[in-house]
């Protein structure tokens, strides 16, 4: 979600050539297409998940969408009017740093939906979602949403034909059956309501699950920071955000002193192994105005996770980062 300033400049020629490939390949028929919607400048954790995805050979990353966080920015004493552009620029910086300039970076909607109706103007990200979903390809399409559902909802409302052609994996919402206020849902409740009411396949990773992916700053200093320019950047933007926001929000218990959550990374690990014993199928809820869950008549079923394998999720990320950018990957 958030990362303060884009630290560091572009890669030097030597740094750009310092990455290596993983010591294994993935058969083409096991690959999947992936589009990621990320409010990357909102907090410091989205960058870790996006980097994880870009390092994963099972994925054909077809695009990254810079998402807004317009409604929650004032809570952190920031102006939300430029939140989407900030996320877009952060994603541009990250792909350049990683040497992944062939991955398209797209602008999302600049604010939340105002109504459940086809929008008068589609975001660049929503247009790309529609085009990719309608494209003939035998590889399944997954849309990983690390923030609000605005751009996915725009696409579904504008072109309902895409619903059976993709699966949405959303990091967001509170636990069932009650629901309630949650950061990503609050950034666009109308979009969340529209996606629940649609027929698109939905895997939901709610707050009680994504908050379980805890890391310490000491852990990140040991496992991430040493891994080349990319690892150092991921570490630095995390530490700077943690320090800055701790000074800005002195009257709340978040963030904790030296603990963070890489709660977006399960969106990657669940595509590598879908944790078949860690989810239930539930009737898609109606989203009430207070963000609690109600009932939808004749609701379709969605997949709701009750746990993720934190060890598998984090170790896969750490290993890929070290093998690609760390000294161990170049011995």
Strands 285-287 and 293-295 turn out to be: antiparallel
Specify whether the CB–CB gap between 106 and 152 falls below 8 A. Answer: no
**How far is residue 113's CA from residue 192's CA, in Å, rounded to a whole number?**
10
Q: What percent of the chain has pLDDT over 70?
A: 92
pLDDT(217) > 60: yes
Tell me the chain's radius of gyration from C-alpha atoms: 19
Specify whether the CB–CB gap between 224 and 321 falls below 8 A. Answer: yes
pTM for this prediction: 0.92
Q: pLDDT value at position 156?
A: 98
245-294 tens-digit pLDDT = 887 776 776 678 799 999 999 999 999 999 999 999 999 999 999 999 99
Phi, psi (rounded to 5 degrees) for 328: -65, -25
Band (8; pLDDT cuts 50, 70, 90): very low
pLDDT(55) > 90: yes
Query: Mean pLDDT, to the nearest integer, of 168-197?
Result: 98
Specify whether the CB–CB gap between 312 and 273 falls below 8 A. Answer: yes
pLDDT(7) > 60: no
CA distances from 227 to 143, 233, 260 (A): 28, 9, 19
CATH match of 28-219+259-325 with 3.90.245.10: yes
Mean pLDDT for all residues in the chain: 92
Give the residue among 25, 60, 47 at the shortest CA–CA distance from 138: 60
Q: pLDDT value at position 18?
A: 60
Query: Mean pLDDT, to the nearest integer, of 127-150?
Result: 98
């Amino acid at each position: 979600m958030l990362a303060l300033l884009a630290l560091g400049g572009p890669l030097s020629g030597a740094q750009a050539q310092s990455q290596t490939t993983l010591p294994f390949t993935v058969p083409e028929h096991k690959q999947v297409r992936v589009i990621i919607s990320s409010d990357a400048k909102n907090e410091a954790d989205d960058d870790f998940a996006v980097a994880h995805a870009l390092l994963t050979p099972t994925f054909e990353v077809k695009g990254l969408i810079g998402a807004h966080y317009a409604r929650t920015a004032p809570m952190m004493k920031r102006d939300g009017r430029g939140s989407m552009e900030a996320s877009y620029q952060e994603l541009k910086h990250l792909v350049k740093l990683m040497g992944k300039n062939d991955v398209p970076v797209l602008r999302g909607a600049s604010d939340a939906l105002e109504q459940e109706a086809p929008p008068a103007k589609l975001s660049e990200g929503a247009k790309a979602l529609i085009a990719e979903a309608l494209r003939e390809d035998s590889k399944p399409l997954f849309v990983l949403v690390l923030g609000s559902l605005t751009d996915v909802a725009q696409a579904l409302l504008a072109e309902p034909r895409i619903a059976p052609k993709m699966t949405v994996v959303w990091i967001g919402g509170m636990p069932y059956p009650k629901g309630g206020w949650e950061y990503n849902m609050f950034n666009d409740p109308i979009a969340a309501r529209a996606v629940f009411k649609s027929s698109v396949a939905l895997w939901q990773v709610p707050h009680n699950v994504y908050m379980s992916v805890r890391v310490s700053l000491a852990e990140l200093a040991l496992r991430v920071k040493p891994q080349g320019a990319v690892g150092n950047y991921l570490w630095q933007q995390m530490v700077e955000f943690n320090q800055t926001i701790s000074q800005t929000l002195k009257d709340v218990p978040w963030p904790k002193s030296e603990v963070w959550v890489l709660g977006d990374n399960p969106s990657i690990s669940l595509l590598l192994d879908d944790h078949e014993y860690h989810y239930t199928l539930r009737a898609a809820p109606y989203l009430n105005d207070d963000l609690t869950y109600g009932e939808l008549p004749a609701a379709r079923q969605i997949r709701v996770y009750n746990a993720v394998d934190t060890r598998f999720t984090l170790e896969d990320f750490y290993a890929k980062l070290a093998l690609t950018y760390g000294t161990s990957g170049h011995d």
